[in-house]
Amino acid sequence: MLTCNHLQTYYGAAHVLYDISLEVQPGTIACLLGRNGMGKTTCLRSVMGLTPPRSGNIVFQGQDITGRPPHHVARQGIGYVPEDRRIFPNLSVQDNLEIGRLRRRNGDKRWTIDRAYEAFPALRAVRHRTGGLLSGGEQQMLTIARTLMGNPALLLLDEPTEGLSPLIVRDLEELILRLKQEAGLTILLAAQDMRFAFKVADQIQLMERGRIVFRGSIEEARRQEEHLKARLAV
């Protein structure tokens, strides 16, 4: 579904991504695992067109989307959930969801307000509350639900567990797995929590200093668990 080939991405003169290549197969969850500052977010931003790569290319569902503006990438079927959530704090939960509504090109409106509330029942109970009054867990659920209202085929999740309690993290794990199993969603997520990554991912790419230093299936990653722990602790 998604292929990144030899991406080189910069912030001004600062070289951040070095020759990044990865593939995400349909219906799977791929994880970019690594400590803060290793390039995970930049990789997602490169795919989304927010920080276009200076060289290399990005192919989504057979189309080259390298350097396309974010609104074009979104309409192609990629949804992005940023680490800082970026909900509209002065709008209600329901209005936040309405803003995220985007009709699929083939006319299939899979995600509706009702379906979003079915997937995130906690949001139904606070649907008239403004976003700024939600808890961190509720805000994260709202951000994901709002992105799903755009009916993406591929969901980019940036550090979805950051700042959440262990109980909310467990709920989020179950939700992500349901999105894959029941909605057929493909997910590329960035995380530094190896336990969380091992719980939800089908494949792991470990990033260090803008490079992928390990890639493999979740089974291969589990066999290398101690090695990965050591790399994450450096």
pLDDT in tens, 27-85: 999 999 999 999 999 999 999 999 999 999 999 999 999 999 999 999 999 999 998 88
Tokens of 14: 């600062």
pLDDT at res. 84: 83
CB contact set of 168 (below 8 Å; sequence gap of 6+): 136, 137, 140
| Sheet with 55-60: strands ordered across | 14-24, 2-11, 55-60, 63-64
What whole-number percentage of the chain has pLDDT above 90? 74
pLDDT in tens, 186-211: 999 999 999 999 999 999 999 999 99
pLDDT at res. 164: 83
Tokens of 121: 């029942």
**Rounded to two decimals, what is the model's pTM?**
0.91
Tally of CA atoms within 13 A in the half-sphere of 132 that contains its CB: 4
pLDDT at residue 216 is higher than 60:
yes
pLDDT at residue 172 is higher than 60:
yes
Round the CA-based radius of gyration of the chain to a whole number and report it. 17
